[in-house]
Structure formats: C-alpha cells, structure tokens
Amino acid sequence: MKKSVPVNILELISIEGVGPRTVKTLWEKLKVKSMDDLERAAKAGKIARLQHFGRRSEEKILKSIEFRKRSGKRSLLGFVLPEVKRFEAAIKRFPEVERLVVAGSIRRWKETIGDIDILAVSKKPEKVMERFIKLPAVAHVYGTGPTKTNVRLKSGIDADIRVVPEESWGAALNYFTGSKQHNIALRELAIKKGWKLNEYGLFSAKGGSASGGKGKMLAGKTEQDLYKALGLSYIEPEMREMTGEIEAAFREAKGVRPGLPKLVGYDDLKGDLQVQTSWTDGAASIERMADAAEEAGLEYIAITDHTKSLAMTGGLDEKGLAKQAKEIDAINEKRKRRGKKVVILKGAEVNIGKDGSLDIANDALAKLDVVGAAVHSHFGLSRAEQTRRIIRAMENPHVDIIFHLTGRLINTRDPIDLDIDEIVRAAKRTGTVLEIDAFPDRLDIKDEHVRKCVEAGVLMSIDSDAHAPEQFSVLKFGIATARRGWASEADIINTLPLKRMLETLK
C-alpha cells in the first residue's frame, strides 16, 4: 500500500486545516507527497484552482505550513512523557544505578521540552554508560565518556545522561534541573557570600570542588540543604523560572509575607469539569467515562458535550441536552445502587458565537449543573473584538466557566488575540471560572495567565477535556501548569468536594 501511495500522511495531516480527505485529493490531483510538495503547489496557486478549495483555503494552508516551520522541533511534554517514563524505567533496572531522576525542563514540567536530561548516582559509571548506549531505544551516540553520554533516541529526541557521586546529588540535581536563569541567580547569591556553587556542591572558598580542591563543602548532598545554606526556603522545580521565586523564598525563610505559595498537589483534584462523550465527538459512553473517572480517583465529572453550532461534532440542541439529562439521572441512580462513587453532573461546552452570543437558550442553560463556554471559530478577530466577545459570554449569568480561553494548539495554532488583564478583571467581576484545559497541546490558560488569576483572586478549574476513557491521565499536565503559575489548592475550584464546588459556581 505504501509503495503504491508514497505519501507522508502523518506529516500532511499535522498541518492545521489538512485532513485525510484533503490529503487524498492533493495526491490524486497534484501528486502532493509531503509538506514541501504542498508548499510548492500552494505557492504556484495550484490549490486555489482545485474544486472545493479556492484562494482562502490556499492561504490558510500556507499560513499553517509557515506556523509549523516557525514552531521548530521542541516536543510536547505530554506526548513524550510516556516514552520518557519507559526509558527511565529501563535505566533504573541497571544493577549499578543507585539513584535516578529525569531533570531539566521535564522536571520543571515545561509544556515543551528540548531534550531528556538524566541524572544518576553510581559507583560504576563506566558500566552504566556501557549499558546505556546499548539500550534498544538508542539510535545514535553523539559522544560517550566515563560520566557523561549524549545520544539520540529512535523517536528523534536527544537524551543526556550524567553520573554524579552520592555526596554531590543535591547540587547536581539542582544544577541540571535549571532553569539556567534560576541557576545563575543561585550562583550569584553564593558568590555574594564569598562562596562557590557548582554541580558538585556549595563550597566555602572559591576554587573548591568535591574532588580535591580547596574549601570546605557547605551543602549540596540534598537540594533542601543547598537552598537552606543560601538563606532560602525550598523552591519547587515548577517555580524555578526566575519569575520572582528567589525573592519569595527569601521572604518565606524570614517569615515575611507574601512568601512562597503552597502549590496545589498532584493528588488534590476531586472532579473534572470538562468531559466529552459519544453523544458528540467523544469516543465512549457517559457510563464508561464515569467508570474511568472513578479509576482515576475522582469523585465527580461534568459531561460537557458540544452544542448545536458545532455541527461536525453532532453538537446537541436544547432537546438533545434535555434527553441527555434524563440519561444522566438514570445512570446516576444505577451507579448509586451499585455503590459507585463518581457523581455525573449535567453540563455542556456551549459554543460562543462571533459576537459573544451563545447557541443554547438561557432556560436550557439554567437546567444544567455546569455551563462551560468556549470559542471554536472566528480565530482571526481583532484583540478588541475577541476580548469583548469573551466578556459578553462571561456576563451571561449561566456561564460558569470559560473553557480553553485562548484556543491555542501548541506547535499548531496561535492563540486568539486577547487583552488578558481585561479578561481576568471581567472574570473576577462576573464570578466566572477560567479553565486550565489539561490537554497536552492546549494547556490553556497557560502558566503566565494562571499567575494573573492567582494575583487577582480569580478561580480556575483543571479539566481533562477527555474525549476517551484513558484521557483522564492528562490531568497531571493541567496541575503542573497550575503549579507553574503558583496556584494553591484554594485557587482551583475542582479541588473542592462536590457540594461546595457547586455552591461556589456562579
């Protein structure tokens, strides 16, 4: 099949606006095999002349290709983490490895990552390197030495491994976790005290090192003792981005407010307020999604299928929502009898029109437990128009949450243009929750926006946007985004138990 149709389908459909049917037409009519072919055809005006295409779709395709090239090669953390975990587990099984952590941007839970930085403790580093380069996942060895090796994996991602001595573990972990800017600030703090900080430890005199230099080792066996010796409270990896965490950690250590936030924890969510089912574009029934949520340790979920103006998803109208409500009542009854814990809430992901109007009547919205509203079209409006549109939706007394506020798809689609500060003020004024959509290519709102909400006292939800039972596993990326935005448990509405969560909604 591949020989008779030599088309790079995955590459082509990764371009926004190009689906399998378009790929077929482009191949049949223009022999387009790759992104480069497509770009050439579009620039020559050949796409516009095809039936059902036209100049606008040609321009859209060119814009998407340009975006793809611009966004480069950083990988989405959520898409590569399963592979990273498998790789990590394989190395942990080496008998010579005593300790192992994946550091770098992965430990800081950045939304995209450049490479995998692995740090290990071993008394036989050469043996570790020998086994490491023989792992089946390794495609190419850039370089290997007694304590450091760089490779490329078969998936195309680069990985580094470094072996450090046990007594330097904390200093090395801190150094290789970064960020680089955070490290530099810590090193400057040390220098101010007349000390030296490097990946081997914190030393009392310049020129010291664990392996024989002058100066006494002051700290560095653990990260905790390192921060403490520098006069700081411990800073979580997600906050190490040089956005004020050093100052906050100083204040915390001295008992001055505001200190460091106590970040929302990875086990703190009690519910999920955005879940799709096979009533629209999800893959599974309401009941299966509830069972999966139960397995994921949740206590409640809101079913939020799309509404009627998203025709391609089979969006529900008022009648459809009423029918679904009856089914939810019946399923809740049945689950209760069987002693199941997860309560299913009635909701919707209501579509916001160009002017901020909603496609479901208010009396139908009033019957739902949770109303989410979201933008799915008109991504190109001006900042003023987009901002006004969202604020109008927030002003609807039934709209509890704005789902994936900016509509961005990381590496694929830019966010809509918004005045975020004005949106945050409007959310505060109207009591509307802003969602952190946890889907790995959304993470929307992003960490910076979370920080603004925390400062303004605007509540957020962390939702999976699950379209299939296994997708509750993405919630951790939303929690990480909240932590990167300095959010505490009290900032996240779905850390509340069901009754209090419902009372807190608008």
- Which residues form the interface with Zn ion (CB under 5 A)? 276, 281
Q: What residue number has its CB nearest to Zn ion?
A: 276
In 403-482, the DSSP E strands lie at 433-437, 460-463
- Rounded to a whole number of angstroms, the minimum distance from the CB of residue 112 to ligand DGT is 7
Q: Shortest Cβ distance from residue 171 to ligand DGT (Å)?
A: 12
Is 465 near Ca ion (CB under 5 A)?
A: no
Q: How far is the CB of 115 from Ca ion (least distance, A)?
A: 4
Pick between residue 114 and residue 165 the one whose CB is nearest to Ca ion.
114
- Cis peptide upstream of residue 258 (ω within 30 degrees of 0): yes
Stretch that binds ligand DGT, among 171-179, 419-427, 430-438, 488-496 (CB under 6 A): 171-179
Find residue 488's DSSP bridge partners.
263
Q: How far apart are the C-alpha atoms of 45 and 148, rounded to whole Å? A: 51
Interface with ligand DGT, residue 178, by CB under 6 A: yes
Binding mask 146-185 for Ca ion (x = CB under 5 A): --------------x-------------------------
245 binds ligand DGT (CB under 6 A): no
Please, which residue, 183 or 411, has the CB nearer to ligand DGT? 183
Task: Look at residue 183 and give the partner it binds from Ca ion, Zn ion, ligand DGT, none, a contact being a CB closer than 5 to 8 Å depending on partner kind.
Answer: ligand DGT
Least distance CB 32 / ligand DGT (angstroms): 33
Q: How far is the CB of 332 from ligand DGT (least distance, A)?
A: 44
Contacts of 4 (CB under 8 A, 6+ apart): none
Q: How far is the CB of 492 from Zn ion (least distance, A)?
A: 22
Does residue 306 contact residue 358 with C-beta atoms inside 8 Å?
Answer: no
Residues 6+ apart with CB under 8 A from 124: 96
> Using CB under 6 A, which of 183, 307, 386, 471 touches ligand DGT?
183
Cα–Cα dist 7/32, whole Å = 7
Task: Check binding of 117 to Ca ion (CB under 5 A).
Answer: yes
- Distance, CA of 181 to CA of 235 (rounded, Å): 14
- Three-state DSSP class for residue 7: coil
Residue 102 CA, distance from chain mean position: 18
The torsion angles phi and psi of 21, rounded to 5 degrees, stand at -70, -40
Q: Which does 178 bind (CB under 5 to 8 A by kind): Zn ion, Ca ion, ligand DGT, none?
A: ligand DGT
Q: Does 104 bind Ca ion (CB under 5 A)?
A: yes
Q: Are 327 and 303 in contact (CB under 8 A)?
A: no
Helices (H), ranges, 15-146: 20-30, 35-43, 54-70, 77-92, 104-107, 125-133
Task: Tell me the closest approach of the beta carbon of residue 459 to Zn ion, in angstroms.
Answer: 23
Using CB positions, name the residue nearest to ligand DGT.
Answer: 178
User: What single DSSP character describes residue 263?
Assistant: B
CA angle 16, 19, 24 (to 5 degrees): 135
Which of 135-143, 175-183, 340-348, 417-425 is the region at the interface with ligand DGT (rule: CB under 6 A)? 175-183
Kind and range of the H or E run holding 138: strand 138-144
Q: Residue 373 carries which DSSP code?
A: E
Tell me which DSSP letter residue 156 carries: S
Using CB under 6 A as the binding rule, whether residue 184 contacts ligand DGT is answered as: yes
Report, in Å, the least distance between residue 310 CB and ligand DGT.
35
Residues 75-104 that bind ligand DGT (CB under 6 A): 104
113 forms part of the interface with ligand DGT (CB under 6 A): yes
C-beta of residue 280 within 8 angstroms of C-beta of residue 315? yes
Which of these ranges, 98-106, 215-223, 422-430, 451-459, lies near Ca ion under the rule CB under 5 A?
98-106
Binding partner at 179 among Ca ion, ligand DGT, Zn ion, none, C-beta below 5 to 8 Å by kind: ligand DGT
Closest CB 443 distance from Zn ion, rounded Å? 16
# of chain residues touching ligand DGT (CB under 6 A): 14
Q: Are 483 and 109 in contact (CB under 8 A)?
A: yes
Cα(427)–Cα(458) distance, integer angstroms: 7
**What's the rounded Cα separation, in Å, for the pair 41 and 20?**
18
Of residues 422 through 481, those in contact with ligand DGT by CB under 6 A are: none
Q: Which is closer to Ca ion, CB of 82 or CB of 95? A: 82
* CB of 137 closer than 8 Å to CB of 154: yes
CB atoms within 10 A of CB 425: 15
Q: Which lies closer to ligand DGT via its Cβ, residue 242 or residue 283?
A: 242
Binding site for ligand DGT (CB under 6 A): 104-105, 110, 113-115, 117, 175-176, 178-180, 183-184
Binding site for Ca ion (CB under 5 A): 104-105, 114-115, 117, 160
